[in-house]
Amino acid sequence: MTHLKTSRLPAIGAAVVYILLSASPAHAQPQTSDARSLLPTLLDEVVAQMDQRLIDAEARTRPLLDEIESQIELPELRAPAAEAVTAYDRPSDDGSAIIVEWLAPDRKAELRERARQQAVKLTDNPTLVDSLAAIVTNELFVNVTYLVQVAKSSEDLVAKSPEDLEAGLFVTIPVTPGAATRKSGNLKYFGLAGENENYCYAEIKPAEIFPPQGPEPITVQQVERFLHDGWPQDAEPSDDAIPVAAAPLQPLLDRANKGYVPQDIRDLLERVRLYARITQFVDEGVLDEEDGIRAITILVDARPEGQLSPAEKADRTWLAGVKLQLRLDRLVAEGFLRDKEAARVRDILPLADQLEQAVAEATVLAESAKEEADQAEQAARAARQAAKEALDEADDETRPQAAEDLKAAVADEKLAKAETADAKKDLLWTRERVRRSRPRQERRELDWLVRLQARLKECDDDAREDAEREINAKTYYFRLAVSEGARREYVTVDRLTIGDEDGAVSVDVPDQWLVLSASAHANAFKWFRTNTLVFALVFSGIVLCFIHVARRNPNLFLRKIAGLDAVEEAIGRATEMGRPAFYVHGYGGPGSMSVIAAINILSRVARQAADYDTRVRVMNLDPIVTAVSQEVVQQAYIEAGRPDAYDADDVAFMTAEQFSYAAAVAGRMVRERPAAIFLMGYFMAESLLLAETGASTGAIQVAGTDAEHQLPFFITTCDYTLIGEELYAASAYLSREPRMLGSLRGQDVGKAFMMVAIVLGVIVLTTAAFFAAREGHVAGWLDHLAAWIRHLFEAIS
């Protein structure tokens, strides 16, 4: 300890004091047991006193609160001002949404102000006035709901009657102001979306509100036939059909065909459409009447998948096959299928149905087998417990028999558990079991059908996405209202501008509701990622600049990296000792940075080994990396003029498993006792295994990894270690190629920038925090600066 510098003593002393202080209680507490038992009592007393004070305060203020609440006039329901309502395409998106944004009247602040005015009449105490105002506001304030009405045309908004705004064709989206909707959606600059207490916004996704419809509109006749003819004799109409039957059909269908109905009605009408097609095909003889009735029975069942029995699920799958059958002619006409393929589909569909029925039956059997097995296991468990109790209560005479019984009960329970496990496995794998029991030809046909359906689904998805894009690209019209209970106030304007830009005319139109229009379109750039792009481009520019500089001046300074300087020493040692060198790759495929860096080092190691006529054995975890390593080593031997010395078995794929790899490599180290070992790449837990084993063989070890959590193990066991980015710098260091050196220098500049940014950022943010409690020009300015700095380095997804 004599070499300890005295200048460091104060720091050590401070650290020790800090540790002791933080380990001890902040306020010295009496250490006696009497004091410890007193403390809870004292605390209880204090809490009780505080409670009593609150009760007293409540008693004193309640009459005042009641007085204020009886006198106060609540803020009237007011719609936002027309100038503060906008609708625009959501920025930086894929064109799927429109934003409607408005500045909501601050009714809470208004209520608070009115409460203050009333409180001032009752008391002079300013603190009491503020408290009373706050309490009254909390008690009386009721949040409003905003309604965004969306229509496909401005006429639809008031289709029936201009006076009766609710009679139009539109979809209403309620928006309750809260944390999620109190944020400006307008991403200014590179995404500085400020949180404004009074701004509300609604995200309108046209494709979700008006999803793609079927090809033909639904007619009243189709619905009536569905309602009156569609039921099989024994079936009851589903609950969903009843609202449809009750409503006047034509207006409902007009709304539905335009897309202005809720999702559940839309789903029901889809089933009507499908029903119409099924009955048409039955009438035309394409589908059997029996199949038709079965399809309709399944169609009217709207229960979710989770509530269906296995047989009902099989029916649903069969219905999907029927839908495919109904589409076959159209698919042939569109060229998606040939006639032969369409015929093949018709032949396979009954097989698919048989498979589903078999799966359903097998599932039912498997479920009942599992139930039985569960019951048997429970019985066996109970029997074991009873046998154990019997053994505990047995006397000397009956003990041997009781022990035998217990042994038998344990064996029975074990068997029952095994059977339960079997039954569970059977249930989970039912479908696959049944499928494999089918003849090979049938399985092949069914697989073909599955592939066809997958391809069809992909095409349908693409078609649906195209349709959604078309829907999103249209112009939509919006109206905004505020609602509180039954009351509703629309946003209105007093002047309207009619006509286009050249001949625009402004007219007075008192209380005309405001109608906004907007359309969504796909944007080309995510503005909220501007900072990332700028940093990436600037950094890339710096690197490329320095590459250019390095070409002119190749003598750029690079500090010594001992691990890389030791490569030649290690290979030389291996040559002298007549033993091989080992090169051990880490994890990762050819796309991994550490693997690419390791391959760079391998090329130098292999070249030197070839020059010195030393064997280098390369061990790989990845097959593609193996292939690349083989090429690299072979090339090294060719460049050294010794192509015949290359042995492909020296560069081998060991295994892709972590500890199998570690065991294989460690085994080879112990058997072949290399003189030099290079461990390069990304390593995990096997790092210590490999390094310790290598150390025990007496080899010189050079390790390099970007897995920083394994560095301590390498540092303690290896002779040289490349830490983190030193591994990436290897190619530049070893080759001294100007382009590589330049990129290293550019990297260092980037690092310097980060260090400066961190220091400056810490200073600004700390100062801003310090001034935050004080008001004034400086505090406000610092606050803005701090927000900007935070935002500059924020990555938004």
Partner 1 sequence: MPTHQDSLKRLTVTRQIVYLLVATSIILPFLIKGISLPFEAEPGAETFYKQLDRLPAGSHVLMSFDYDPPSKAELYPMTVALLRHCFEKDVIPIVMTNWPSGLGLFEKACEEVAAEFADKGDKKVSGTDYVFLGYRPSMTDLILNMGVDIKGAFTTDYYKQPTAAMPALEGVKSLRDLDLAVALAAGNTVELWMAYGSDRFGFPLAAGTTAVGAPKLYPFLDSGQLVGLLGGLRGAADYEKLIERPDIATSGMVALSGAHILLIVLILGANIWYVVGRITGKEGK
Partner 2 sequence: MWYKRTIPLILVFVLGILAFTQNFVPHPLSEKFLKTVTDWSRIINGFALFLGAYSLLHMHVSRIRRQQPGWAYSGFVFIGAMGMIILGLWNDGVGPVRASPDPQGTWFNWGYESIQVSCSSAMFSILAFFMASAAFRTFRARNLGAALLVVAALIVMFGRVTISETVGGWLGRPKVFGDIVKAIMDYPNMAAKRGVLLGIALGAVAQSLRIIFGIERSYLGGGD
Residues 405-424 that bind partner 1 (CB under 8 A): 424
Binding partner 2 (rule: CB under 8 A), the pick from 45, 51, 58, 94 is: 94
- Which 683-702 positions form the footprint of partner 2 (CB under 8 A)? 685, 688-689, 692
CB of 671 to partner 2, least distance (A): 5
**CA-CA distance, 120 to 570, in Å (whole number)?**
88
Residue with Cβ nearer partner 1 (149 or 687): 687
By CB under 8 A, tell whether 659 contacts partner 1: yes
Residue with Cβ nearer partner 1 (72 or 796): 796
Tell me which stretch binds partner 1 (CB under 8 A): 145-153, 172-180, 275-283, 302-310: 302-310
Tell me which stretch binds partner 1 (CB under 8 A): 176-184, 298-306, 547-555, 563-571: 298-306
By CB under 8 A, tell whether 195 contacts partner 1: no
Question: Per-residue contact track with partner 1, 561 to 590, x per CB under 8 A?
Answer: --------------------------x---
Structure tokens at 356: 């589903």
| Residue (of 616, 640, 612) closest to 630 by Cα position | 616
Distances in Å between the Cα of 250 and the Cα atoms of 161, 235, 690, 755 are 18, 26, 79, 71
**CA-CA distance, 417 to 430, in Å (whole number)?**
20
Query: What b/e sequence results for 659-680 when a residue is b if at least 16 CB atoms lie within 10 Å of its CB, and e otherwise?
Result: eebbbebbebbeeeebbbbbbb
DSSP letters spanning 44-75: HHHHHHHHHHHHHHHHHHHHHHHHHHHHPPPP
**CA-CA distance, 545 to 547, in Å (whole number)?**
5
Query: What b/e sequence results for 67-88 when a residue is b if at least 16 CB atoms lie within 10 Å of its CB, and e otherwise?
Result: ebeeebeebeeebbebeebbbe
- Which 22-41 positions form the footprint of partner 2 (CB under 8 A)? 22-23, 25, 29
In SS3 terms, 750-779 reads as: HHHHHHHHHHHHHHHHHHHHHHCCCCCHHH
Question: Per-residue contact track with partner 2, 599 to 628, x per CB under 8 A?
Answer: xx--x------------------xxx-xxx
Binding partner 1 (rule: CB under 8 A), the pick from 266, 435, 443, 469 is: 435
**CA-CA distance, 451 to 455, in Å (whole number)?**
6
CB of 194 to partner 2, least distance (A): 22
Please compute Rg for the chain using Cα positions.
39
Tell me which stretch binds partner 1 (CB under 8 A): 487-495, 541-549, 565-573, 657-665: 657-665
Binding partner 2 (rule: CB under 8 A), the pick from 596, 764, 779, 789 is: 596
Q: Write the DSSP symbol of residue 477.
A: E
- The one of partner 2, partner 1, none whose footprint includes residue 692, by CB under 5 to 8 A per kind, is partner 2
Structure tokens at 771: 């001034």
738-741 long-range contacts (CB < 8 A, ≥24 apart) are 738/547, 738/550, 738/551, 738/554, 738/556, 739/547, 739/550, 739/551, 741/550, 741/554, 741/556, 741/558
CB of 691 to partner 1, least distance (A): 14
- Which 757-796 positions form the footprint of partner 1 (CB under 8 A)? 795
Question: Per-residue contact track with partner 1, 229 to 268, x per CB under 8 A?
Answer: ----------------------------------------
By CB under 8 A, tell whether 657 contacts partner 1: yes
In SS3 terms, 248-274 reads as: CHHHHHHHHHHCCCCHHHHHHHHHHHH
By CB under 8 A, tell whether 428 contacts partner 1: yes
487-490 and 145-151 beta bridge pairing: unpaired
CB of 711 to partner 1, least distance (A): 10
Question: Per-residue contact track with partner 2, 407 to 446, x per CB under 8 A?
Answer: -------x--xx--x---x---x---x--x----------
Binding partner 2 (rule: CB under 8 A), the pick from 246, 504, 524, 773 is: 524
CB of 796 to partner 1, least distance (A): 9
| Residue (of 481, 488, 493) closest to 175 by Cα position | 481
Residue 226 near residue 249, CB atoms below 8 Å? no
Size of the site for partner 1 (CB under 8 A): 28
Binding partner 2 (rule: CB under 8 A), the pick from 101, 353, 356, 706 is: 706
Residue 546 near residue 558, CB atoms below 8 Å? no
| Residue (of 797, 751, 732, 727) closest to 539 by Cα position | 751
Structure tokens at 585: 């790759």
Tell me which stretch binds partner 1 (CB under 8 A): 68-76, 168-176, 707-715, 724-732: 707-715
* Neighbouring C-alpha atoms within 13 Å toward the C-beta of 726: 20
CB of 599 to partner 2, least distance (A): 5
- The one of partner 2, partner 1, none whose footprint includes residue 411, by CB under 5 to 8 A per kind, is none
By CB under 8 A, tell whether 465 contacts partner 2: yes
Residue 605 near residue 678, CB atoms below 8 Å? yes
CA geometry: angle 453, 457, 463, nearest 5 deg: 145
Binding partner 2 (rule: CB under 8 A), the pick from 133, 676, 729, 768 is: 729
CB of 412 to partner 1, least distance (A): 18
Q: Applying CB under 8 A, which residues contact partner 1?
A: 1, 304-306, 316, 374, 424, 428-429, 431-432, 435, 454, 457, 587, 591, 657-659, 682, 684-685, 707-710, 795, 797
